Amino acid sequence: MIVKVCGMREAENIRQVEQTGADWMGFIDYEGSPRYVAGVPEYLPESVQKVGVFVNASLSQIRERVAAWQLDYIQLHGKESPEFCREMQQTGIRVIKAFALRTPDDLLTTESYAACCDYFLFDTPCNGYGGSGKSFDWEILTHYQGETPFLLSGGLKPESLDALLKFSHSRWAGIDLNSGFEQAPGLKDAAALSDFIYSFKQNKYNL
């Protein structure tokens, strides 16, 4: 199971969260987000995969950041087309496409992305593009029959542990933790993350 912690900004907090058992760390390159991080922090993690989060960014903006931050993945939360995802993949970067799910029919959109994404991320619909702190009805995911593995996202917090331990799906690959583990926007509670990630991995898969 992959555990991604998203919305990181500050060097010291990045160092702390790197020690929590997280596998991936996300950095938001979207100016509309309270977690937007403009320049490269003084410290970038070495033992986790780095994910850049974008909303309708241009190919050149993404390419620049991938190179400057040595990103391993890009996570796309806007109206990026399958062709755009394919073009990004062809540059050698791995692609995570986010989908907001209100009803099972929203899963139909994923079909045209299957061949050009490495992961999907299923999130809660909101007025913005993500980071709502709200969860969605996971029952919708019983209708997901695609092959592409997915991360479960949207409002996950310490109290979500029991529900996550009960959840199951053959394509479920991981979880994305964000505003539910913050002391302030972009500042994560490393102790809460350590406890949660330990319990999740121990109880769920004994990893």
Ligand X SMILES: O=C(O)c1ccccc1N[C@@H]1O[C@H](COP(=O)(O)O)[C@@H](O)[C@H]1O
Cβ 98 vs Cβ 52: under 8 Å: no
The reply on whether position 77 binds ligand X by CB under 6 A is yes
The reply on whether position 26 binds ligand X by CB under 6 A is yes
Cβ 185 vs Cβ 35: under 8 Å: yes
Q: Helices (DSSP H) in the chain: which residue ranges? A: 11-18, 59-69, 82-90, 161-166, 190-205
Residue corresponding to tokens 């500050």: 10
Site for ligand X in 79-108 (CB under 6 A): none
Residue from 153, 164, 175, 189 binding ligand X (CB under 6 A): 153
The reply on whether position 30 binds ligand X by CB under 6 A is yes
The reply on whether position 53 binds ligand X by CB under 6 A is yes
The reply on whether position 45 binds ligand X by CB under 6 A is no
**What is the C-alpha to C-alpha distance for residues 108 and 144, in angstroms, rounded to an integer?**
9
CB of 206 to ligand X, least distance (A): 25
> In this chain, which stretch among 16-24, 127-135, 164-172, 187-195 interacts with ligand X, using CB under 6 A?
127-135
CB of 68 to ligand X, least distance (A): 20
Amino acid at 105: D
Give the C-alpha distances (Å, rounded to integers) separating 136 from 125, 160, 179, 200, 207. 8, 12, 15, 20, 27
The reply on whether position 176 binds ligand X by CB under 6 A is yes
Residue from 82, 125, 155, 174 binding ligand X (CB under 6 A): 155
What are residue 81's phi and psi, to 5 degrees? -85, 165
Q: Which is nearer to ligand X, 7 or 45 (CB)?
A: 7
Q: List residues binding ligand X (CB under 6 A).
A: 6-7, 26, 28, 30, 33, 35, 53, 55, 77, 121, 123, 129-133, 153-156, 176, 178-180
